[in-house]
Copies of this chain bind each other. A is one copy, B any other.
Amino acid sequence: MTTTMETSAPEHLTKTSRGEAVTLLEAISEALFEEMTADESVFLLGEDIGVYGGAFKVTRGFLEHFGANRVIDTPIAEGGFTGAAAGAAHMGLRPVVEIQFMDFISPAYDVITNYIATSLYRGAGPMPLVIRGPVGGGNRGGPFHSQNVEMAFFHTPGLKIVYPSTAYDAKGLLKAAIRDDNPVLFEEHKGLYRAPALREVLPDEDFVVPLGKARTVREGQDLTVVTYGAMVHKSVEAADILDAEDGLSVDIIDLRTLLPMDDDAIVDSVKKTNRLLIVHEDTRTGGIAGEIAMRVSEKAFEWLDAPMLRVTAIDAPVPYSGSLEDYFLPQVDDVVKAARYLAAY
């Protein structure tokens, strides 16, 4: 597009090039900034992403740098502007849509599932479109500012779903998502955005993390934990406890991309440990654990020496008060308890 401004990059968006550690949020900002710099067809749409820089400040400084034609403050119409993004993608642009809180993606459910995800199949060509935004609980946001939305879209052939747990992955996966010719739903756990423990010095080079590949977080022999997002860190905490107190070693798989799913990584690990625990923050019934269990049953049933189990949120809307929400969400202790049960099985 014709309107890129030739100003130098704002300081807070170039930490990596100065060797500074970045948070997961900053990694996302950098990914957006670099892709927009490298490719004029990338542009942003969303509520309050311009002058305000987004509800979580992911796009702070972007409007000033890239101008109003590439950083578009939209009306409150998730369906409308996601649909518009799809139209722009038809014309060869590569829109990145921000949903202010992913809970509010539901008005776009129709256009995403019926139009966007089916576009290639219906013969309309590639659909390079990223829909990103904050998800997840633990922040006392109540039922409408805490949801995980993967399972609303997991049953949608044609869509990819990505959910990073580290700054490195967030940057590399988002860059890969923007370059992908398929529509990608990109979930960012708001509890990880500024988590100090996730600050990381990233390679000062253009890197991507390929979609569809899981990551082995740590190697272990006694049990496989398949997880993603914020639960990766709770699982690691649990694994530390299990190691220290029980002498158990846990293989932790971070899915990173939920759809399409990296079956091989899961199956290989289960074939090694013979025990599977699935941990997800999202609610239980119809959660992703089911699909994982089904695939493991199909591909590695013989290797299972114990039932596949899961630790998840309970089947309820996300409650507002801290005491309820803490009960609602899966906790480190739950992982520990379930792992012990499985190890002893």
Question: Taking beta carbons and an 8 Å cutoff, which residues of A are in contact with B?
Answer: 103, 106-107, 109-110, 113-114, 117-118, 121-122, 143-144, 151-152, 154-158, 259-261, 282-283, 285-294, 297-298, 301-302, 304, 306-310, 315-317, 319
Q: State whether A301 and B306 are in contact (beta carbons under 8 Å apart), knowing that A106-B109, A155-B283, A317-B121 are contacts in the complex.
A: yes
**CB pair B155 A151 closer than 8 Å:** yes
Q: Name the residue in A109, A154, A282 with the highest tally of chain B Cβ atoms < 10 Å from its Cβ.
A: A109
Determine which of B154, B157, B297, B316 lies in contact with A293 in the assembled complex, contact meaning CB atoms within 8 Å.
B297
Determine which of B114, B288, B307 lies in contact with A301 in the assembled complex, contact meaning CB atoms within 8 Å.
B307
Q: State whether A297 and B307 are in contact (beta carbons under 8 Å apart), knowing that A109-B109, A154-B286, A315-B157 are contacts in the complex.
A: yes
5 A-B pairs with least C-beta separation: A290-B290, A301-B307, A155-B286, A106-B110, A109-B109
**CB pair A317 B122 closer than 8 Å:** yes
Contacts of A283 in B (CB 8 A): 155, 157
Report the minimal beta-carbon distance from A80 to chain B, rounded to whole angstroms: 12
**CB pair B287 A297 closer than 8 Å:** no
Determine which of B259, B294, B308 lies in contact with A310 in the assembled complex, contact meaning CB atoms within 8 Å.
B294
Report the minimal beta-carbon distance from A214 to chain B, rounded to whole angstroms: 16
**CB pair A118 B157 closer than 8 Å:** no
Please list 27 pairs of residues, one from A and one from B, whose beta carbons are closer than 8 Å in the complex, sorted by A's number. Answer: A106-B109, A107-B110, A117-B317, A118-B143, A118-B317, A121-B143, A121-B316, A122-B317, A151-B286, A152-B152, A154-B286, A155-B285, A155-B286, A156-B286, A157-B283, A157-B285, A157-B317, A158-B316, A158-B317, A260-B285, A261-B285, A286-B291, A290-B291, A290-B294, A297-B297, A298-B307, A301-B306
